[in-house]
Structure 1
């Protein structure tokens, strides 16, 4: 039997690689003759660079830029041949600020432009920007300003996100996402009105309708800025899974292990567990999710997953549960028990 581990990172606790290694180590401790494979995975949000750093041709670069509040910081990006991978959360991430009305009023995507410029200078012909985990809601205006004199001809710009929200409106960037980034009700109204004016002027003057392009509301409207610059908006999970050849690995496996920090019905919306489970189902492979916690209602995931288990072994506080050592120990233990159960029926 060959077992594949493709587990998403548990935010604030353990990386995808750590979790895969823990799960497979637990299995091998009991069944040393089994074949195993680890594929670090992400959905286009936080952890993208960590996942793709394991590619043979990955080269890590760093650049000095500014974060979402204009503070200096050094950030990494990756080169995979002539393709650059930029994790926007490293530059304009919500984890870089204390969330509140004051921070969201100042938050800008401007600093992201310097990283794109650096990638072009390094020879990148394709630039992929992951769009999850940002703390901005500036409609991508800062990003546009930072690149207004940059020659993007010959460069393919790609925004990676599974968000399909429009640029503005009742399902737009500000209305749906700004509150979680600290915006007040008044600020949300203000941001939405600003985005609507910009989009309507763009449609009138240049014939570009951001509202008809799915995903322009991603990352506080940064998706719209990428589209305006001639870029593409594509599924973050599909992009990453293609780069790491996940589907082929699933095809060659007998059991697939996946997981994330918290599993619920929203996990079916472009997250790793959903993507892995769908690929496994496509090829008739059992897929088991090992998660930090799970809800009773998993929505559409119930149709794709074989089973889903929390790795916790007792009642435990969140602070204790997310301790890295605890998470990895519990992951190894749970994965080993899954393997024991399956082996008992063989």
Structure 2
């Protein structure tokens, strides 16, 4: 039996690589005769480059040093891949703007900046890439990508790189360099890879939905919403809106799906001419996932918490969709399972298995994530692998 093990990271405990290895170790205890293919995955958030670098043997890594959300130097990388249609550079925004880069007491989306992501884009341009893919997710920022734009020369750092709250003070000419930067990126296919479809503003936007996860109080989240509103107003004064040919209405980039991803980084990339794709879809395509499943009998995916968000563009949903299309049974092993059987079956999953179902089990899983995940995988293998 050929089993493809393709999990996402278990946020806060295991990387995707560690999760895949733990599942494989447990599976082998019960079914040592099975052929296992380990394929860690990502939806564009933390681990995006690690996953692609591990799956693309010809990829070259350009090491760089960039600013973290508070301006301190951190190591990062650009992954460069040669293809039939040209050179692609992959960038992971979380390497410079990630929430994991900050201690709990440092998390403040009023102050954190995406300046370092702009530095990563500059580095990607120097590789001569004709296509730049930016993985979005896991950010600590809520500045609408203004810091990124400042690093590229759109405006003064004093205006754009002091965090999300200061954007409420922008002058009408704060983005005077936007046209010039857009011209620099015009020859490049710029892609934002994200699992988030939220717009920039509103009840489903960056501030309302994601700022609280980054340390914002309800009052701060509301203030950030107002600051981003002013930012959008300045953008609309600077950049003429295009018209939708079908409806005749202006195209509002702040309302595009994914504009609110990574605290609004998606919006900044739209301003530079970018287009959005599914983060996990981009990864699955890059690693040849569909072709791999043609020779598989079962695919096992997983993540820390299998919940309602998992159904909307996360790794589990992407894996299950392709598995369903290729008639390959798929199951999920998650730290916790909060999705009902009916919803899971609608996604195409043939089974869902939780590592922990009680508070005591959750505590045990947090204390020994590798051991408890492997133990659960061993029990699942007894159900799915034919015993000799």
TM over 0.5: yes
TM superposition shift of 1:306: 0.8
1:197 is aligned, of 230, 238, 246, to 230
Native 8 Å contact 2:132 2:189 kept in 1: yes
The runs of at least 4 consecutive aligned structure 1 residues that moved more than 6 Å come to: none
1:189-228 matches, cutoff 5 A: 189-203=222-236, 205-208=239-242, 209-228=252-271
Tell me how far apart the structure 1 counterparts of residues 30 and 16 of structure 2 sit (CA, whole Å). 22
1:175 and 2:208 correspond: yes
Question: C-alpha offsets along residues 67-103 of structure 1, whole Å, 9 cap, x if unaligned?
Answer: 1111122222322222222111110111222456973
Question: C-alpha offsets along residues 280-319 of structure 1, whole Å, 9 cap, x if unaligned?
Answer: 1222222111111222636732322111112359864645
1:113 and 2:114 correspond: no
Q: Considering only aligned residues, what root-mean-square deviation do their CA atoms show, in Å? A: 2.5
Tell me how far apart the structure 2 counterparts of residues 169 and 315 of structure 1 sit (CA, whole Å). 35
Native 8 Å contact 1:313 1:330 kept in 2: no
Helix, strand or coil: the match of 2:373? helix
1:146 and 2:151 correspond: yes
TM superposition shift of 1:27: 3.1
Tell me how far apart the structure 2 counterparts of residues 9 and 269 of structure 1 sit (CA, whole Å). 17
Q: Normalising by the residue count of structure 1, what TM-score does the alignment of the two structures yield?
A: 0.90
Structure 1 residues 47, 319: closer, same or farther in 2, change over 3 A?
A: farther
Matching residue of 2:293: 250
Matching residue of 2:135: 130
Which structure 2 segments of 5+ residues have no match? 154-179, 243-251
Native 8 Å contact 1:100 1:183 kept in 2: no
Q: Which moved more, 1:66-75 or 1:184-193?
A: 184-193
TM superposition shift of 1:197: 2.9
1:5-24 matches, cutoff 5 A: 5-24=5-24
1:292-303 matches, cutoff 5 A: 292-295=335-338, 297=340, 300-303=343-346
Matching residue of 2:172: none
Q: How many residues align?
A: 344
Structure 1 residues 195, 343: closer, same or farther in 2, change over 3 A?
A: closer
Matching residue of 1:66: 67
Question: C-alpha offsets along residues 269-289 of structure 1, whole Å, 9 cap, x if unaligned?
Answer: 211111111221222222111
Q: Which moved more, 1:137-146 or 1:123-132?
A: 123-132
Tell me how far apart the structure 2 counterparts of residues 28 and 183 of structure 1 sit (CA, whole Å). 44
Tell me how far apart the structure 2 counterparts of residues 108 and 315 of structure 1 sit (CA, whole Å). 37
Helix, strand or coil: the match of 2:309? helix
Tell me how far apart the structure 2 counterparts of residues 279 and 102 of structure 1 sit (CA, whole Å). 37
Helix, strand or coil: the match of 1:300? helix
Native 8 Å contact 2:306 2:339 kept in 1: no
Native 8 Å contact 2:9 2:42 kept in 1: yes
Structure 1 residues 164, 249: closer, same or farther in 2, change over 3 A?
A: same
1:18-167 matches, cutoff 5 A: 18-54=18-54, 55-81=56-82, 82-99=87-104, 103-148=108-153, 151-167=184-200
Helix, strand or coil: the match of 2:77? strand
Native 8 Å contact 2:284 2:290 kept in 1: yes
Matching residue of 1:309: 353
Q: Which moved more, 1:312-321 or 1:135-144?
A: 312-321
Q: Which moved more, 1:211-220 or 1:93-102?
A: 93-102
Native 8 Å contact 1:274 1:301 kept in 2: no
Native 8 Å contact 1:42 1:272 kept in 2: yes
Helix, strand or coil: the match of 1:163? coil
Native 8 Å contact 1:87 1:129 kept in 2: yes
Q: Which moved more, 1:6-15 or 1:292-301?
A: 292-301
TM superposition shift of 1:11: 2.1
Q: Which moved more, 1:331-340 or 1:104-113?
A: 331-340
Question: C-alpha offsets along residues 108-155 of structure 1, whole Å, 9 cap, x if unaligned?
Answer: 111111111112112222211111000000111111111136532322
Native 8 Å contact 1:268 1:299 kept in 2: no
1:240 is aligned, of 283, 305, 308, to 283
